[in-house]
Amino acid sequence: MAHIEDRTIENTTINRPSLGGRSSKPGSRRGSGSVVLKSGQTLAYHTRTNDEDDLPHATKKTMADYLRKYESIMRIITEAFKETLEKGLKEHGQVVPMIPTYVFGWPTGNEQGDFLAVDLGGTNLRVCLVTLNGSGQFELTQAKYRLTEEQKHEDGQKLFDFCADCLGMFVKSQLEEDFGKLKSGQELALGFTGLPIKLTALINDTTGTLIASRYVKPETKIGCIFGTGCNAAYMEKIGNIEKINNLNLPADQEMAINCEWGAFDSFEHEHLPRTKYDIIVDETSNKPGEQAFEKLISGRYLGEILRLVLCELIDEGVLFLGQETYKLENPYAFDTAFLSLMESDPTEELLMIVGIFTYFFAIETTLAERQFFRALARLIGTRAARLSACGIAAIVSKIGCLDEGCSVGADGSLYNKYPNFADRIHEGLVAIFGERGKNIQTHHAEDGSGVGSAIIAVTFQP
Ligand code: ADP
Ligand code: MG
């Protein structure tokens, strides 16, 4: 695996190994074997089961060289990212739009009340009943509904009807369960459910996460989402948001900015290194050229990147010869959750990976193949986390909080469930900033968007 990783770091492409030499010793405590590189060179690999790095001893030095090179690429990306953020504050219509949210300033932590929240994500719809108790405390009951592919692509009316149905079902179930609680404090009226619900605030999930994180953890300065998509928000002095200077808002007051940073490097593709697989993901997507940063990072795409590598190996007759592979050849058939499972497989024989391939794709795999798949997942997941670190570092450097330190509240399945995602972000921050990078820590902002919208709704209550 490590050699594959070496080559990748050197070329910033995932090189195609031939898995012809499948020679993992049966019963060996260590995975080992050989891969034939494109150049024709054969490399032995050897994976220690309990080592995070999985470095073969012979190449440690060169690996360190590659890492240094990588770190400088990360710093260059961070710098370009920061400039892009600044541009977005200056002028309307920039690639990274830096949207003014009109959410003014931080919550105090003492906000109180009961609120309903509906969170429409790229994969899930969540309906929550949030009780803010003050002192940074909250309680939350939620129901999660998975959106179907049709719902994501059909006309909006049907989707909103579905939201209303879910909201209605949730409220009814809550009324049955806990009548007293729901009755107190709300007038519930969106009209369509026949229930008295009043729409108070409409908020972006990332802005919500920023506000919710701060409510719970006063050191918070940045909020991030790593789910189907990825995004960040932070608090900016109004005077620095040059593009809205004409509104004559108090320059010293603060306003949350929804960066929509997933758009970084869109169209031009001048800052982020992309592999040919990334280019296929982009060109076959419904928005080619757009969301360039997000396409390297978020849950919607990571599984697809891995799938494209496998498909290429299938096409070239290297993998799964003689097996039916049509299930795997379906675009987006390989969920990012599989990468999480593959990386966290605790068994020597990688039985979890056996399960994924047999159960979902009816494909048999060898141990050497599974080790390669896991290595691939690790590369894709690590790259996503390290690029995320570049985005966070850009905001940290923009607001100048590196020495003082801060916390970054993060939510979304990728952040919450992908093994080591947070640690890899932290490593990335150290790679960019050196030891001072440790001043920036991320934490899970639980149900950030729901809690955040409740907090923001408090401000807008009559
Ligand atoms: P939403 O984006 O709708 O708010 P989530 O935050 O749950 O929803 O993110 C959904 C995305 O996370 C999907 O792209 C899915 O593939 C991915 N995902 C779901 N479970 C996991 C997991 N265990 N590990 C990594 N990614 C996951
Ligand atoms: Mg979400």
Q: Which ligand is nearest to the CA of 420?
A: 1
The pLDDT-based confidence of 52 (bands split at 50, 70, 90) is very low
The whole-number pLDDT of residue 53 equals: 47
Window from 37-41, 403-407, 439-443 with minimum mean pLDDT: 37-41
The whole-number pLDDT of residue 21 equals: 37
The whole-number pLDDT of residue 9 equals: 29
Give the separation between CA 131 and CA 151, rounded to whole angstroms: 30
| Class of the domain covering 2-10+108-205+449-459 | alpha beta
Tokens encoding 58: 């012979």
Q: Is 121 in the pocket of ligand 1 (CB under 6 A)?
A: yes
The whole-number pLDDT of residue 43 equals: 46
Measured distance between the N- and C-terminal CA atoms of the chain, rounded to whole angstroms: 60
pTM of the model: 0.85
C-beta separation of 96 from 82 below 8 A: no
Q: How large is the average pLDDT for residues 178-193?
A: 46
| Closest atom of ligand 1 relative to the 298 alpha carbon | 14
Query: How many Å lie between the centroid of ligand 1 and the Cα of residue 43?
Result: 35
Residue whose structure tokens are 């990728």: 414
The whole-number pLDDT of residue 187 equals: 53
Convert the pLDDT of each residue in 207-233 to its tens digit. Answer: 999 999 999 999 999 999 999 999 999
Q: Which ligand is nearest to the CA of 344?
A: 1
Query: How many Å lie between the centroid of ligand 2 and the Cα of residue 65?
Result: 38
Convert the pLDDT of each residue in 237-264 to its tens digit. Answer: 999 999 999 999 999 999 999 999 999 9
Convert the pLDDT of each residue in 27-49 to its tens digit. Answer: 333 344 554 444 454 444 444 34
Query: How many Å lie between the centroid of ligand 2 and the Cα of residue 448?
Result: 9
Indicate the domain borders of the chain. Answer: 2-10+108-205+449-459
Residues of the chain above pLDDT 70, percent = 82
Diameter of the chain by CA atoms? Answer: 72
The whole-number pLDDT of residue 4 equals: 35
C-beta separation of 210 from 222 below 8 A: yes
Closest C-alpha to ligand 1, atom 23: 337
Strand-pair category, 220-226 with 406-411: parallel
Chain Cα centroid distance, residue 329: 24
- Higher-pLDDT residue of 449 and 13 is 449
The whole-number pLDDT of residue 155 equals: 87
Q: Is the pLDDT of residue 193 over 70?
A: no
